[in-house]
Amino acid sequence: MAFENKFVQLRIEKAELLRQSGINPYCNNSQRNSTIKKYINVNSDIANKENKRDEHRHYTVSGRIKLLRIMGKASFLQLEDESGVLQIYVARDNLPEDFYNDVFKKNIEVGDIIEAGGYPFVTNQGELSLHASEFKLLTKAIAPLPEKFHGITDKETRYRKRYLDLIMNADVRKTFQIRSKVISLTRRFFEDKGFLEVETPMMHPIAGGANAKPFVTHHNALSIDRFLRIAPELYLKRLIVGGFEAVFEINRNFRNEGMDATHNPEFTSIEFYWAYKTYKDLIEITKEYFRYLFEHLDLPTYLPYGDLEIDFNKFSEIPLIKSLHTIGEVPQEIVNDKDKILEFLKSKNISVKNNLSLGQLQGELFDAFVEKKLINPTFITEYPVAISPLARRSDINPEITERFELFIAGREIANAFSELNDPVDQYERFKAQVESKDGGDDEAHAMDEDFIEALSYGMAPTAGQGIGIDRLVMLLTNEHSIRDVLLFPAMKPIHNDELHQEEE
């Protein structure tokens, strides 16, 4: 039952007492005329004034009481708004008669949202404060806040009740401010380059554009199932067919897979497509994009990430096959021989699925021996065709594609390629995917004939790229769980009956 907690009960009683004495505990006529940050900036000169005060100035600030120290006839409280923290000095004799004793001391407590008006002064201890002559309760908090010193540290509570986490942990607010800035800067960067922001469907008849298990939903009026999109790729390419030459979309993708420190069922990515360009141009624009982000976020390009240190000035580039030997230390002579790779993997106790092609095995080698070693930003290029169903073949070597993935701190951050625009080749690759799907690979790409038809009308040579925004923000904020960069990460329901109610 709601409100059964005894502390909540007590505070509800206080709200009732306030009502009875004519004070609305949820009053909304705020008179705020300054944020706390502005107050602190404007009054930074007070320390140098006579008596360390200026009674001619008057400000009204609002916020949540984070700390309260009642000392008889005077009290100090720490007030926090979005912009900062300010100490308020409240004394009995500066307020209307009986207000301090009957209202303030009895019914105001930590967690309440209040408003205080008064003049700036500096205390004996040297802290700029506000000397209150007006005091108003704006919102009574009936639930007590977590402990004032340790705050809230339990990760489960922090994720399930993010509002509490945000109230108690200023650095968490900071992380999400950076996240917001990254998205806003990303949008501006691409707009300034002449890209058009578009919105493509979230509900797809065929889950395409990536290899992943989709979520399924149902459209009642049409009696058909729809898939939450796993990637916007195929729709964005249709727009290139239609004549838009540079498009991007920043939005959510949904994948019905496991959850861990780097995977949430819904995650945010930017995908952009650029006609008359190749993956080589994407390497350049990616470097430029990172420079732009660091400059506008005002971040040093040498960033710590856990035990690692990442130099965002040091971008390097190496073909996948070459990286197997030079970075992964896989013997040079085996990397192009299926049987020798299988033998090698076996000797390293790495088991792989049966019937993998050479390209897939090279991918396995890369995952096992190279990926984790890529700390500074590294473009791995020239992926095998077998693991790149939507990428254009190299004109020089038809077994590899014009593709790169960007790795930072041992993690994939971006995936890009010159797009496959030969409709017949694309059709054949879909067919190969469908065969491996029939062979048991439930994440293989489905046939999308509508997309093939679109390609048939001709898509200009195009390069396209996807960047995982969540993982990028993790890098920039030194966070090691995707849940720490998602305001409301996916959580299992706490109670069993919630979990199974759908089945009944």
Is residue 6 involved in binding RNA (CB under 7 A)?
yes
Residues 253 to 272: which contact RNA by CB under 7 A?
255, 257-258, 260-263
Is residue 483 involved in binding RNA (CB under 7 A)?
yes
Shortest Cβ 78–RNA spacing (Å)? 7
| Distance, CA of 394 to CA of 414 (rounded, Å) | 20
Kindly give, in sequence order, each residue whose CB lies less than 8 Å from that of residue 278, ignoring residues fewer than 6 positions away: 402, 418, 461, 463
| Distance, CA of 298 to CA of 261 (rounded, Å) | 27
Tokens read off for 130: 């506000």
**Which is nearer to RNA, 387 or 463 (by Cβ)?**
387
**Which is nearer to RNA, 130 or 240 (by Cβ)?**
130
Shortest Cβ 159–RNA spacing (Å)? 6
Q: Which of 165, 227, 219 is nearest to 201 (CA)?
A: 227
Is residue 72 involved in binding RNA (CB under 7 A)?
yes
**Which is nearer to RNA, 214 or 377 (by Cβ)?**
214
| Distance, CA of 203 to CA of 430 (rounded, Å) | 21
Among 37, 57, 58, 92, binds RNA (CB under 7 A): 92
Shortest Cβ 298–RNA spacing (Å)? 28
Angle at 168 between CA 163 and CA 174, to 5 degrees: 80
Of 154-162, 174-182, 268-276, 337-345, the window that binds RNA (rule: CB under 7 A) is 154-162
Q: Which of 60, 10, 12 is nearest to 34 (CA)?
A: 60
**Which is nearer to RNA, 5 or 313 (by Cβ)?**
5
Is residue 74 involved in binding RNA (CB under 7 A)?
yes
Residues 280 to 309: which contact RNA by CB under 7 A?
none
| Distance, CA of 197 to CA of 250 (rounded, Å) | 8
Is residue 152 involved in binding RNA (CB under 7 A)?
yes
Is residue 193 involved in binding RNA (CB under 7 A)?
no
Is residue 125 involved in binding RNA (CB under 7 A)?
yes
| Distance, CA of 210 to CA of 389 (rounded, Å) | 9
Residues 436 to 465: which contact RNA by CB under 7 A?
443
Residues 323 to 382: which contact RNA by CB under 7 A?
363, 367
Is residue 218 involved in binding RNA (CB under 7 A)?
no
Is residue 126 involved in binding RNA (CB under 7 A)?
yes
Of 184-192, 333-341, 449-457, 486-494, the window that binds RNA (rule: CB under 7 A) is 486-494
Residues 381 to 410: which contact RNA by CB under 7 A?
387-390
| Distance, CA of 388 to CA of 382 (rounded, Å) | 10
Report CA-CA distances (Å) from 417 to 270, 402, 426, 427, 456: 14, 6, 14, 18, 20
3-state helix, strand, coil split of the chain in percent (to 5) is: 35, 25, 35
Is residue 228 involved in binding RNA (CB under 7 A)?
no
Among 184, 336, 491, 501, binds RNA (CB under 7 A): 491
Among 2, 224, 396, 494, binds RNA (CB under 7 A): 494
Tokens read off for 405: 């993935």
| Distance, CA of 324 to CA of 338 (rounded, Å) | 14
Binding-site size for RNA (CB under 7 A) equals 75
Q: 316-319 and 378-381: which strand pairing?
A: parallel
Is residue 170 involved in binding RNA (CB under 7 A)?
no
